[in-house]
Amino acid sequence: MNRRNFLRVVGLGAAAMAMPEELFAARRNKDRPNILWILSEDISPDLSCYGTPAVQTPNLDKLAHQGIRFTSAFTTSPVCSASRSAMITGMYQTSVGAHHHRSHRDDGYTLPEPVRLITDHFRKAGYFTANVKTAAAGVRGSGKTDFNFQSKNAFDGSDWNQRKPGQPFFAQLSISMTHRGGRWKNLREKLNNPVDPAKVKLPPYYPDHPIARDDWATYLNSIQVMDGYVGKILKRLDDEGLANNTVVIFIGDHGRCHVRGKQWLYDGGIHIPLIIRWPGKLKAEQLCDNFVSAIDISATVLKIAGIEPPKYMEGQVFLEPGAKSIWKPVNKRDYIIAARDRCDETIDRIRCVRTKRYKYIRNFMPERPYTQLNRYKERSYPMLNLMKELHAQGKLTRVQALFMAPRRPNEELYDIRNDPYEINNLAASPKHRKTLKKMRAILDKWIKDTSDQGQFPEKFSAITPRDRERIIEDRSWPSNWPAILQK
């Protein structure tokens, strides 16, 4: 090195040392992307860009056009608290003891070492973390966390505008419009183009009845309202000059809130939409069929932020930088696994393995019917009550009556390619014996390797007081559970 270059290097080093900390941080953070993670509650890939008839989602269609639309994304649990507990840690909910819906709210339970929330990793790396409530004009985020464990200071604030100048942010934004409930009232009046119930396509396991059509159309209407919210959120990024350096991730927390959907391991309960846009870093107009588990989002956003995912994390990075720093999908999963445990007061344990061709489901409590008592569903699912009534009248088809069976099979095996609605159980088919054996082995290994906590009875103290009362009232605990559950 000649004297001139040596002096130049020394000079630059001295200037950096003298640089105000705020300015140095601003330069360091200039190229670190912001991350906006939008979670829409209780939604399957029922968007127009996924080919769903009757529904119109122009804002999400545009987002998909500007980035990557994933067609094989699945959550690890078909209910919100368990799936969100998994996503925020990058761990299967069954590995960290967060598998029972609305558990550990009052007993002081914390995550096992060394597991941390991904927001802790972001914060340590200098990011501002927000659980957004002031999403955009006329749009509020629900602020929902719904974790099945105790956590202090999960987020730094409620809006990314609370961060320091130049500080990158990681923001979670939950939209509750698609969650069945009071917000679904008068949805048609909120839309210029409400869904026509006559034009919807019902799955064959639902009766073609005006009540069923209207309920399905109402669900699609909630998606259309949600799509309008997403448009306003994206406009805010544009207005604030943040769009070009913000990774936008749109995802569902689990599947649709319908019969055979939410709380079940059929695709209606675990198959979710996933769209990612990152201007200049991800090529637009991409379609990807690689398997993505919802816990992979956590590992991937850490990688995008320049944070190496911790080795304990079960989620896998599915986007990696290629030539000229253009990121691309990488395929690391041959299958996904999902789990359902107690939901509200309804005790159950189900596991599934899903490959591109087959779905294997194991019912650990097959003596319990599909329609065992769940007050939330009894109160909120008009299609469920319709099906019960039609079944009593003998008016359901064979396919529709399957869900009314008094007990479930020990195992279920479906050829997804030829039977996408998971109707024809092949578990007893001699032709599929080899496939069944292979899927069993995958699940058995996963249960062992991940120390699936669903193997062990739930402690009564972990259950919320409301659900404790309902379990006692219904006497719905399994006979082999500890005596404490019978007090």
Cβ atoms < 10 Å from Cβ of 66: 20
Active site residue 80: yes
Helices 210-239 and 58-66, axial angle in degrees (round to 10): 50
The DSSP call for residue 343 is: B
Question: Residue 474 to residues 330, 368, 465, 486: CA-CA distances in angstroms?
Answer: 48, 13, 14, 11
Cβ atoms < 10 Å from Cβ of 112: 14
Q: Which two tokens stand for residue 366?
A: 């097959």
Q: What angle do CA 287, 288, 293 make, to 5 degrees?
A: 140
Query: Could you give the CA distance from residue 229 to residue 177 in angstroms, rounded to a whole number?
Result: 9
Which 3-state string (H, E, C) describes 108-168? CCCCCCCCCCHHHHHHHCCCEEEECCCCECCECCCCCCCCCCCCCCCCCECCHHHCCCCCC
Cβ atoms < 10 Å from Cβ of 404: 15
Q: Which two tokens stand for residue 79?
A: 């209910």
From the list 49, 80, 257, 343, the catalytic residue is 80
Q: Which residue has the tokens 């996963």?
A: 446
Query: Could you give the CA distance from residue 74 to residue 323 in angstroms, rounded to a whole number?
Result: 29
Query: Could you give the CA distance from residue 70 to residue 251 in angstroms, rounded to a whole number?
Result: 10
Q: Is 17 exposed, middle or buried (0-12, 13-18, 19+ CB in 10 A)?
A: exposed
Per DSSP, helices labelled H in 291-432 are 294-304, 375-380, 382-392, 398-401
The residues annotated as belonging to the active site are 80
